[in-house]
Amino acid sequence: MNSVTRILINGIETTQLGALDRGLQYGDGLFETLRVRDGRPRHWAAHRQRLGEGCARLRLPDAVMEPLAEEARLLSRGVAEGVLKIVITRGEGGRGYAPPVAPRPTRLLALFPPPDYSPSHARDGVVVRLCQTRLGHHPALAGIKHLNRLEQVLARAEWHDPYIAEGLMLDHEDNVIEGTMSNLFLLRDGQLSTPELSRAGVAGVTRARVLRLAPSLGVTVVERVIPRGELAEADELFLTNSIIGLWPVRHCAGRDYTPGPFSARLATALEAEHD
Amino acid sequence: MNSVTRILINGIETTQLGALDRGLQYGDGLFETLRVRDGRPRHWAAHRQRLGEGCARLRLPDAVMEPLAEEARLLSRGVAEGVLKIVITRGEGGRGYAPPVAPRPTRLLALFPPPDYSPSHARDGVVVRLCQTRLGHHPALAGIKHLNRLEQVLARAEWHDPYIAEGLMLDHEDNVIEGTMSNLFLLRDGQLSTPELSRAGVAGVTRARVLRLAPSLGVTVVERVIPRGELAEADELFLTNSIIGLWPVRHCAGRDYTPGPFSARLATALEAEHD
């Protein structure tokens, strides 16, 4: 998981980046993490679309994305299973926060081996904790997958126990927002809910796929504010992201959950969906 | 201002950084910006101390700072006027938010030419605007100078008019916190106030010097929550940071201010203070 296999920066194979890149200096950029399978990145169009939304929010020129599809194909060719991380930054731009008038963005694509998560995570569910590190409210940044990730780093640093697979994060109003690396869904009385992300959180590509797929499985779904107290009342609880797919939660914050039939059906539907 | 003269990374002169550095991937690090004058960085001990506080908050090993003084001296030697930026990151650490158990941090020192701000800024005061981009609350990150600076980038991108020297930022509760690159002080009825920074903002080194110097100039100073409405009621308003020193505000949010006697005395005291 930790050994990168190949990196392309602006189309050139390298391991080095300009030290004054605004991605490093200010976290001035975006990223995407995709699953690679059978020689190609999965759900490319959806990741490409979210990256485009991020570029619009950060006012990064859309043109930076043009070579990405070809470069992603190049890195993925011949790879049976892997992880592709794409980073887009505003490039180098001197000292000072003011973005350059004519930025020359940086495109970084890095191919990693597939993750080594236990297969039992998806099958039997995971143990999840509540993090003490909270997510601040940033309407201007909420939803997009930007490079300012210290909250997630601090939250993930709260535990070392490998038995705990993920940590849930609350905002300062005690609403649950997401996991450190995943989105959260609750099923109760046949209705599926997921936290609304207008003030904090990352609107995951797999989360969007769940929002689209759930109704076809006979379940209504709603994005809304979810107080932490509702976690204990859920019939089923599960996590999603592009790398893990779907993990049912079997224990969280003192309560046991039984990985339920809806989680299993949805996981199958997600896995079966082509792209 | 924009052309860097020299960069040292982990003691080696270079322009390139490892592309998987967590500073780029997550903004997992800290920085300092110092004034260089007459061949040496000014107020080294104060910057070193704040960096140490940042390392403690982010749980970066203290040892990363040991070579900094010598490297800063090396870069500053023979430089009459300049700006030294120091960046410390958690180094490379694979894919995933979990910090490596034994991180190998990155030290980056970059020497820039002195800024080209108009001398009238310090003498006659500056025009300041109120930014629309707000600062979120992050008690775990407030006060330290970390690398997650997208809020500042978005705020600074709100204006291009060179007539406007700085933008003030509010939190979501309509309290004023700081400028995009500076701290703020208000004088009213002989009492100096500056926003308390326990939930948002950067506790500047020059701000700390003002807190220490003001009483010796016969003025009490208090750190407190400052609603935006108080801006209009101030007798004097001024901004500080290590590079600009002190800039009086002569216009902000529809009100004119007269750069006052206290600002002038304090600026002189700051400039005269040796280190």
The pLDDT of A203-231, averaged and rounded, is 97
Quick one: pLDDT at residue B225? 98
Quick one: pLDDT at residue A95? 67
Quick one: pLDDT at residue B274? 76
Q: How far is CA B160 from CA B122, B129, B149, B179, in A?
A: 21, 12, 19, 16
Q: What percent of chain B has pLDDT over 90?
A: 94
Q: ipTM score of the complex?
A: 0.95
Q: Is B61 on the interface with A (CB under 8 A)?
A: no
- List pLDDT tens digits, range A104-149: 999 999 999 999 999 999 999 999 999 999 999 999 999 999 999 9
CB atoms under 10 Å from CB of B34, counted, come to 24
pTM of the prediction?
Answer: 0.96
The pLDDT of B161-182, averaged and rounded, is 97
> Does an H or E element contain A24, and which?
helix A22-26
Which of A138, A159, A173, A242 has the highest number of chain B CBs within 10 A, making it the mutation to test binding with B?
A: A138
User: pLDDT band for position A275 (50/70/90)?
Assistant: confident
Q: Is B98 on the interface with A (CB under 8 A)?
A: yes
* Contacts B149 to A, Cβ<8 Å: 25-28, 97, 148
The pLDDT of B105-132, averaged and rounded, is 96
Q: How far apart are CA B30 and CA B15, in angstroms?
A: 19
Q: Where are the alpha helices (DSSP H) in chain B?
A: 22-26, 44-58, 68-76, 119-124, 150-156, 205-213, 261-272
Q: How far apart are CA B155 and CA B166, in angstroms?
A: 10
Interchain CB distance below 8 Å, A146 and B150: yes
CB pairs under 8 A between A and B: 190
The pLDDT of B259-263, averaged and rounded, is 94
Q: How far apart are CA A36 and CA A76, in angstroms?
A: 7
Cross-chain CB nearest to A150 (options B19, B133, B146): B146
Quick one: pLDDT at residue B1? 43
Interchain CB distance below 8 Å, A157 and B99: yes
On average, the pLDDT of chain B sits at 95
